[in-house]
A and B are shown apart, each in its own frame.
Chain A
Amino acid sequence: MIRLLRAEMVKVRSLWSTWVLIGAGALLASGFGTLIGFAPHRRRGLSAILFPPHGTAAWFDDLFSAMSIAQTLALVIGVLAITTEYRHKTVTSTYLAEPHRGRVVEAKLVVSAGWGAATAVAAGAACLVLGFSVVAAGIGTSNVMLTEFRHVFPGVFLAAMLFAVYGVGLGALLRNQVLALVVGIGFTAIIEPIIVGIFPTQGEYLPGQAAQALESVTASARNFGSSGITHLLPWWGGGLMLITYGVVFSIAGSLTTMRADIS
């Protein structure tokens, strides 16, 4: 297994898309963080009530919520781990080297979790730089800033890690790169909010909500900002749900699409 993990490491590391995604995680996190913190319309009317004043703990909390973009990018890393192999036919050499296809998927689950976590680290680091810049500019104190960072980051780290696992599952099941990406991102961004709107209680088991739950591992209950009352699983329940999605989809994929002839 160690050998397979090392092989998968070489594969992921040698793809420029991995580094683009991680870089994008850092850029988007600091970009969105800046937008959330400093969007000009915020000071007046309803915004002034909904959005906390600059430099407060709640404001830093909002600002740092931008790093959860890492979760989506981690999903992409997980999906690509399998689907690029089919797209570029590198599965041929992969399965020649390890004819037990299930073991290949296992290795990808583990390695992708690591790269998902790396995406969160990149996004977190970028947000931290943003946080220190803000403090240096005289907004808030580093104490408050760091406390909020410690609240937000662990949840994002876990969510990104497990969203990569979920991505591998999707990739294993669907095998087609475009399809898996559209389903993975589209479901969480579009379909899931609709379902959650109609069935809030049942919706808590869906991947996006599970990640949301995971992000509350340390953060306060208001980490979901403006949405008010939401039904969320406990953080460990969210984590279990994501692992379940990843593993169940991987097994289903291993038993169906991934058994297909490679020709």
Chain B
Amino acid sequence: MAVNAESQVPAATPATSSLAIEVRGLTKHFGSVLAVDHLDFSVQPGSVTGFLGPNGAGKTTTLRMLVGLVTPSSGEALVNGVAYRDLDDPLRTVGAVLEATGFHPSRTARQHLRSVARVADIPDARVAEVLEMVGLAGDGDRRVGGYSLGMRQRLQLAQALLGEPEVLILDEPANGLDPQGIAWIRNFLRWYASLGRIVLVSSHLLAEAAQTVDDVLVLASGHIVGQGPLQSLLSGVTGSVRVRTPEADRLVDVLAAAGIAASQDSPGLVVATGTSAEVVGPIMAEHRIVVHEMTTSGESLEQLFFAMTEGSGLGGFSATPGDATS
């Protein structure tokens, strides 16, 4: 796998207090099961990093080790150069959205947030602010027991934002959200990263992740099997491009001349295979071909994903404890 080891950032030194997540040799056994196996990666600020992998890959376990809830069997997971438990002010450094459970049903959202906020001396005004941010302002004084899954997910996010953290870690944040909610969180994460902060978000939903993340870490069976900017990973993958154009015949010829396999599926619809929009687009522009519609097959990330995760020996422990934790 070309993207594997080389793309780790080599220059980062633990001594600097610069904003970063560093994971070195991180390993976790649950009994005889190896859930996470010598992970090495780093996450830099300013972009949304997707932590992708099938269920059971070890994503949740890794994220929980980052925030000190799960103790690594060996290796270390550092935030800004130190382990989570050694952070001076954990809530203002890291905000974590881990699961949509974790609320006492008889507490209101506001009471729950206050109980967390007190620990870091965060004022009640900030509690009201984060409830507003996630769209729960009107429901803040209702008991969480009556909340929908989506509302609980929002409340998790509100809790993570209490300390305006520099690092945001989210485990499957789209779970339980409706389409508007998913779109909202996508925009929110992009905005948050644009402030120069770290956003690390796990997902097993590739189509969703593809729209949100800039960089990816692909995990399978406890190993990193792919790492780097999403675009550069995808550029290595061949997909298919469908173009609706009044000049279908000319497009087929032009593409053929460029060495791209293309055919006219139906009148006015050209399908080019083994290529990408990034390749087809410029060719069409160059030849001034009128385009009514262009779509790429949404499978490209999926194909990449399957290619990466298949080769990693899933056989040993396919669907076992890695995500017993999720």
Contacts and interface: CB of A to CB of B under 8 A. Distances in A.
Interface in B72-125: 84-85, 87, 90-91, 94, 96, 98-99, 101-108, 111-112, 114-116, 118-121
B102 A263 contact: no
A92 B115 CA distance: 13
A95 B65 CA distance: 12
B119 A7 contact: yes
Given A97-B91, A261-B69, A261-B70, A89 B120 contact: no
Nearest to B107: A14
Given A96-B91, A261-B69, A261-B71, A15 B119 contact: no
A141 interface: no
Given A10-B114, A10-B118, A14-B115, A100 B85 contact: yes
Contacts of A9: 118
Nearest to A9: B118
B67 A96 contact: yes
Interface string A33-50: 000000000000000000
Contacts of A94: 116
Contacts of A95: 68-69
Contact of A3 (B99, B112, B118): B118
A105 B31 CA distance: 27
B280 to A, nearest CB: 46
Contacts of A99: 67-68, 84-85, 87, 90
B121 A3 contact: yes
Contacts of B87: 99
B115 A3 contact: no
A146 interface: no
A7 B118 contact: yes
B64 A89 contact: no
A96 B96 contact: yes
The bracket for how many chain A residues form the interface is 20 to 34
Interface string A186-206: 000000000000000000000
Interface residues of B, number: 37
B70 A97 contact: no
A89 B100 CA distance: 10
A3 B120 contact: yes
A9 B67 CA distance: 25
Given A3-B118, A6-B118, A92 B69 contact: yes
A15 to B, nearest CB: 6
A119 B229 CA distance: 59
Nearest to A104: B119
A257 B41 CA distance: 31
A11 interface: yes
Given A88-B104, A97-B116, A10 B111 contact: yes
Interface string A83-106: 010001110111111111000000
A3 B104 contact: no
B153 interface: no
Given A3-B121, A6-B118, A97 B102 contact: no
B99 A89 contact: yes
Question: Which of B61, B96, B119 gathers the greatest number of chain A CB atoms within 10 Å?
Answer: B119
Nearest to B70: A261
Interface string A120-159: 0000000000000000000000000000000000000000
A96 to B, nearest CB: 6
Contacts of B84: 99
A93 B106 contact: no
Nearest to A6: B118
A100 B119 CA distance: 12
Given A14-B108, A93-B115, 12 more contacts: A10-B111, A10-B115, A17-B106, A84-B104, A88-B103, A88-B105, A90-B102, A90-B104, A92-B102, A99-B90, A263-B64, A263-B70
19 contacts: A3-B121, A10-B114, A10-B118, A14-B107, A15-B104, A15-B106, A84-B104, A89-B102, A89-B103, A90-B102, A96-B90, A96-B94, A97-B90, A97-B120, A99-B67, A99-B85, A261-B64, A263-B69, A263-B325
For the complex of A and B, the 7 pairs showing the least CB-CB separation, nearest first, are: A263-B325, A7-B118, A99-B85, A14-B111, A97-B119, A262-B69, A10-B115
Interface of B: 60-61, 64, 67-71, 84-85, 87, 90-91, 94, 96, 98-99, 101-108, 111-112, 114-116, 118-121, 159, 324-325
Interface of A: 3-4, 6-7, 9-11, 14-17, 84, 88-90, 92-100, 259, 261-263
